[in-house]
Amino acid sequence: MLHHKSYLKRGRGGKAFKVVKEHYLRDDIWCSIECCTMCSHTEPILSSSPAFTNLVLKPHYIVPDTNILINQIDILAHPALKDIIILFYVFSNEHHRETFIERAKDESPNDRNDRAIRSAVKWYATHVKQITDKGKFLEVVLLSDDVENRQKARQDGILAYSVKEYVEGMNDTPELIDMLGNVSISDNKDKKFVYDSHLSPLQITNGIKNQTLHQGTLNISMHNYLEGSIQSIIDGVETQIMILGRTNLNRAIQGDVVVVQLLSKSEWLRTPTAVIVEEDEEKILVEELQNAGELKEQSKEIDNESFEAPRPTGKVVGIIKRNWRSYCGFINKQSVKGSNTSTLSENVSVYPMDRRIPKIIIRTRQAQNLMGQRILVAIDSWPKDSTFPLGHFVRALGIAGDKSTETEVLLLEHDVPHQSFSQQVLNCLPPEGESWVVRDEHLQGRVDLRNLNVCSIDPPGCTDIDDALHVRSLPNGNYEVGVHIADVTFFVKPNTPLDDEASSRGTTVYLVQKRIDMLPELLGTKKVDRLAFSCIWELNPDAEIVNVSFTKSVISSKESFTYEAAQLRIDDQRLDDDVTKGLRILNELAKKLRVRRMERGALTLASPEVKFQLDHDSQDPVDVEMKELRETNALVEEFMLLANISVAEKIHQKFTATSLLRRHRPPVTSLLEVLVKAISHLGLTLHYETSKALADSLDEAVLPEDAYFNKLLRILTTRCMTQAEYFCSGTTSEQDFRHYGLASEIYTHFTSPIRRYSDIIVHRMLAASVDHNAIYGRELIDKEKILQLCEVLNYRHRMAQMAARSSVELHTNIFFKGKTEQNEGYVIRILKNGFVVLIPRYGIEGIVYSSSDKAKKVSTDLNLAPLIVYNSHNNCLESVIDGKVISIKLFDKVVVQISVNEDLIGGGEGGMRQKLKMELVQPFLPGLSVSNNNSGSLNKANEDDNASIEDKNYNRKKDKREDINGGKKKKIKI
């Protein structure tokens, strides 16, 4: 049946023309019920024996309306609910002659949609009665939370229930009650606290257009869930806008795309905010935030010249895109009011594991059973008169503190796909599996390089080996150097289940005790023939490129080295075989490449990376140490960088508008300015007009008496950097292609296709670039698709990094559980009520709180002024003991005691994931430092310790200042 619809439309010139739309309605759309003989099924979806409940006593199928799909998706996804008819997907009601309906005059789109759903349910109810034998026992039920929709359905003779009514009739699955989405919980609302209404879409659009409003993605501080920020353009400069306090955040959470209005300059933030330890500290912080822009006239705070200029501060006035997801958390024990045996439904609060997310209020009958467990909850709504968002219980994850539970939590929290590969995906691999070998038919179109001395160099225990190297001398005195990358695209074909899975995962995720692969294991690590994509240069003795070529190849690895084994081969002068000589040549060439790269302005940054030694059986950490880097690490790195740059140049010649490239934008200057001010009292300076200027400044910023200082400065400089990102070449000008950190005008990722999907796309682009007869799909020339892919890959990469850090944190806590150690550390951040300390020995960091209950008690008992106060002039914390000022500043050395904090919100193991607790040892402050002496006076030993610490911190500053310009402070060039 052909359905026509015509109407008149006025064109741009004002002339009217007739538009005719044709809609073909069919009679042969099947119902998808297994036992139906009237429909011509290909693959029936619905069982012939659906379930029944205490509410609906006959076997029945379920048809949810649109709002149920949106608001109660967790209910529908529960295994107890089966045989659900999703209209349009299971049954195309809009294309069936008997279920399609026209929109009536004056009927709203929503009412028309509800009527179409009722029409489809009525057709199904009639259709199932006609099924031989089974029909008289089958029913069809409409699920709708719309009262009017249910009333109209019942008038038409349709069985219709709300979701709550339906799940209450499922006595075998009482947990479904807790999974009901909460749009409102009347008894939770705090009428004394009401958020401002958000602006209308029209007001937001006009405000952004007029540049009176600023749009950005909200990033909440890890130290303070009431401190957020966005990046936006102010006066033509990219600037960080701070958002402080619950009122100004205005129901926005981490990751939301928000619209911000700047506050008046008198309300801008001048000093650091405090870190929130417990919720009861929030009130104190809010009071401080209200006065954040005002200078305090106290002798203890010298504010006539603030350390920091006022920072732009604003408030959220609209939310463009919510970033709500499911959150892992635990029930707050204090919020549970029922008895241990109670099964009554009650409102409880859930603390998310992600400290940046506010508490979530849920209603549950399982509060007592869920105590001490990690649970998954989802946010449903956040009314303006509710202090916290409202949500519902999804499922329990396991006992808190159990390593497997905590590992699943960190994977879920960082949205890491970690399910096993489906059979559909595995079917895309060669049926021989690990027994697959290169055969003669695979050599077509490839260069045979199996005669070369190819070897790989990787970390110990690495099984996803995807790169190898070779070098040989040429008759003209130059060298042929090859980087050979596993030809993963031979196995991963476009638009296959394997390709779809890899693009969804984006990257392999490395945890301390295991790896979450992007791809199933394709290639073994044995010394066998392997298919490769080779980048081969001719380099002169100065490591300058004479020419470069790219080819599909087959190689045979002669050796699989670890970094340490390769270094030993290079250093052992007794060895003189061809492979060892090749390693030495590669090492010398790599050093020259590195020197040239540094001369261009490449940065040598740093991060405190640690390595765990795990128990063979329990996989618990038994030792922690810093990762050691050798020359062979740099050897591999230099040639991988060179390959990535060469490939980027090649693919951009072919795919000018759609190359998948990687860039690193210049750092945000406001963050570097803070670091420059922090080191100025040491007589040091940082120039950052260019990456070369910054690299040279970092090289010069050394303290002879402190070998670790330069690495520490590089770690903090790294944190001032923006993150590198994938982008599509056609979406930005070529001057913005530059990779700031590598000082390269163009860059991409080519060398790790087993663990990065970006490299798979680049391999496909390179294959099309070197073979003019190559056939490739539109996915390589569709700018929008490449742009969308880049967004996914950037997100997956960030999440993988954060998951890896959380895994390190988890295993660090396990390592220190039951231990108490004292270690020397460095102050790397000053807060109003504490400071952050980095421990070089373990590469870990934690917060020392200056507002501890013990410290407050000592101050109160002895009738003293506050134990330690923030000095905004010098950006430090100060304490006056017996007339002597003891200060704690950035880069100061301190001694802290490390233990695992088991006194947690929610109660012990059922609270937050256990975290490291750091307490000050030196310099000694009564009531704050760890000491057996709680009196108000310092004992002689502590006085000596304080003197020693103070002298060390003072002398290195004094010596450095006297070394520069005859003791005069050198001006800082910005």
pLDDT tens digits, residue range 17-42?
Answer: 777 778 788 888 888 888 888 887 77
pLDDT grade for 732, boundaries at 50, 70 and 90: very high
- Stretch 258-268: mean pLDDT: 91
Give start and end residues of each alpha helix (H) in 224-276: 246-249
Q: What is the pLDDT of residue 4?
A: 61
pLDDT grade for 3, boundaries at 50, 70 and 90: low
Tell me how far apart the alpha carbons of residues 248 and 250 are, in angstroms, rounded to a whole number: 5
Residue 176 has pLDDT above 70, yes or no: yes
Q: Strand pairing of 159-161 and 139-143?
A: parallel
Residue 128 CA from chain centroid, whole number: 48
Residue 831 has pLDDT above 60, yes or no: yes
Instruction: Locate 523 and state its tokens.
Output: 């290639």
Listed residue (633, 601, 609, 605) closest to 710, CA to CA: 605
Which residues, listed in sequence order, are joined to residue 424 by a DSSP beta bridge? none
Q: What is the pLDDT of residue 682?
A: 86
Tell me how far apart the alpha carbons of residues 468 and 473 are, in angstroms, rounded to a whole number: 18
Q: Strand pairing of 313-321 and 237-244?
A: parallel
pLDDT grade for 282, boundaries at 50, 70 and 90: low
pLDDT grade for 768, boundaries at 50, 70 and 90: very high
Is omega for the bond preceding 923 within 30 degrees of 0, making it cis? yes
Q: Is 483 helix (H, G, I), strand (E, B) or coil?
A: strand
Which residues, listed in sequence order, are joined to residue 142 by a DSSP beta bridge? 63, 160
Listed residue (590, 556, 584) closest to 569, CA to CA: 584
Residue 493 has pLDDT above 80, yes or no: yes
- Average pLDDT over the chain, rounded to an integer: 83
Phi, psi (deg, nearest 5) at residue 219: -120, 120
Residue 319 has pLDDT above 60, yes or no: yes
The b/e string for 631-642 (b: 16+ C-beta within 10 A; e otherwise) is ebbbbbebbbbb
Kindly provide the residue ranges of all beta strands, DSSP E only, lying in 245-368, ordered along the sequence. 257-262, 313-321, 326-331, 346-352, 360-364
Instruction: Locate 740 and state its tokens.
Output: 């700031």
Q: What is the pLDDT of residue 747?
A: 97
Q: Give the number of C-alpha atoms closer than 13 A to the C-alpha of residue 600, restricted to the C-beta side.
A: 15
Q: Residue 551 to residues 447, 522, 647, 669: CA-CA distances in angstroms? A: 7, 21, 12, 43
Find the distance separating the first CA and the last CA of the chain, reported in whole Å: 74
Q: What is the pLDDT of residue 134?
A: 61
Q: Is 942 helix (H, G, I), strand (E, B) or coil?
A: helix
Q: Is 345 helix (H, G, I), strand (E, B) or coil?
A: coil
Q: What is the pLDDT of residue 524?
A: 46
Lookup result for tokens 């809009």: 94
Q: Which residue has the higher pLDDT, 966 or 494?
A: 494
Which residues lie closer than 8 Å to 520 by C-beta, 6 or more apart? 421, 425, 426, 429, 498
pLDDT in tens, 346-384: 889 999 988 899 999 998 888 888 888 999 999 999 999
Q: What is the dihedral of CA 64, 69, 74, 79, to 10 degrees?
A: 40
Longest dimension (CA), the chain: 103
Q: What is the pLDDT of residue 106?
A: 87
Tell me how far apart the alpha carbons of residues 80 and 573 are, in angstroms, rounded to a whole number: 69
Q: What is the pLDDT of residue 588?
A: 96
Integer-rounded Cα Rg, in Å, for the chain is 32
Q: What is the pLDDT of residue 765?
A: 97
Which residues lie closer than 8 Å to 20 by C-beta, 6 or more apart? 4, 5, 6
Q: What is the pLDDT of residue 2?
A: 63
Helix axes 631-654, 757-770, angle to 10 degrees: 50
Highest mean pLDDT pick, 133-142, 435-444, 596-605, 744-753: 744-753
pLDDT in tens, 662-676: 999 998 787 888 888
Phi, psi (deg, nearest 5) at residue 124: -60, -45
Listed residue (878, 893, 875) closest to 827, CA to CA: 893
pLDDT grade for 948, boundaries at 50, 70 and 90: low
CB 708 within 8 A of CB 716: no
Render 742-768 in DSSP notation, one character per residue: TTBSS----S-TTTBHHHHHHHHHHHH
pLDDT in tens, 611-646: 777 777 777 777 777 777 788 889 999 999 999 999
Instruction: Locate 809 and state its tokens.
Output: 């944190």
Q: Give the number of C-alpha atoms closer than 13 A to the C-alpha of residue 194, restricted to the C-beta side.
A: 4
Instruction: Locate 541 and state its tokens.
Output: 């003795």
Q: What is the pLDDT of residue 273?
A: 60
Q: Strand pairing of 893-901 and 884-888?
A: unpaired
Residue type, 663: R
Give start and end residues of each alpha helix (H) in 414-483: 423-426
Residue type, 331: I
- Stretch 152-164: mean pLDDT: 93
Listed residue (563, 609, 555) closest to 583, CA to CA: 563
Residue type, 340: N
Q: Is 974 helix (H, G, I), strand (E, B) or coil?
A: coil
> H or E stretch including 654?
helix 631-654
Kindly provide the residue ranges of all beta strands, DSSP E only, lying in 736-863, ordered along the sequence. 821-831, 834-839, 844-849
Residue 304 has pLDDT above 80, yes or no: no
Q: Which residue has the higher pLDDT, 278 or 155?
A: 155
Q: Strand pairing of 509-510 and 515-516?
A: antiparallel
| Listed range (277-281, 421-425, 611-615) with the worst mean pLDDT | 277-281
Residue 190 has pLDDT above 70, yes or no: no
Tell me how far apart the alpha carbons of residues 756 and 739 are, in angstroms, rounded to a whole number: 19
Residue 155, Cβ density class (10 Å: 0-12 exposed, 13-18 middle, ≥19 buried):
exposed
Q: What is the pLDDT of residue 44?
A: 78
Tell me how far apart the alpha carbons of residues 206 and 213 are, in angstroms, rounded to a whole number: 9
Q: Which residue has the higher pLDDT, 340 or 791?
A: 791
Listed residue (450, 511, 455) closest to 636, CA to CA: 455
pTM for this model (two decimals): 0.80
Residue type, 429: L
Q: Strand pairing of 60-64 and 139-143?
A: parallel
Tell me how far apart the alpha carbons of residues 553 and 823 are, in angstroms, rounded to a whole number: 53
Q: What is the pLDDT of residue 461?
A: 72
Highest mean pLDDT pick, 76-90, 569-583, 861-875: 569-583
Q: Strand pairing of 893-901 and 915-922?
A: antiparallel
Q: Which residue has the higher pLDDT, 865 or 641?
A: 641
State the DSSP code for 84.
Answer: B
Instruction: Please report, rounded to a whole number, the percentage of residues in the chain having pLDDT higher than 70.
Output: 84
Residue type, 641: L
CB 324 within 8 A of CB 892: no
Cβ count near 454 (within 10 Å): 25
> H or E stretch including 921?
strand 915-922
Residue 913 has pLDDT above 80, yes or no: no
Residue 863 has pLDDT above 90, yes or no: no
Q: What is the pLDDT of residue 517?
A: 93
Residue 342 has pLDDT above 80, yes or no: no
Listed residue (203, 36, 59) closest to 132, CA to CA: 36
Residue 935 has pLDDT above 50, yes or no: no
Residue 964 has pLDDT above 50, yes or no: no
Phi, psi (deg, nearest 5) at residue 502: -65, -40
Residue 494 has pLDDT above 80, yes or no: yes
CB 273 within 8 A of CB 289: yes
CB 875 within 8 A of CB 889: yes
- Stretch 91-99: mean pLDDT: 86
Instruction: Please report, rounded to a whole number, the percentage of residues in the chain having pLDDT higher than 90.
Output: 46
Phi, psi (deg, nearest 5) at residue 615: -65, 135
pLDDT in tens, 552-564: 999 998 888 888 9
Which residues lie closer than 8 Å to 105 by C-beta, 6 or more apart? none
CB 245 within 8 A of CB 282: no
Q: What is the pLDDT of residue 159?
A: 94
Tell me how far apart the alpha carbons of residues 91 and 121 are, in angstroms, rounded to a whole number: 11
Instruction: Locate 499 and state its tokens.
Output: 């390709």
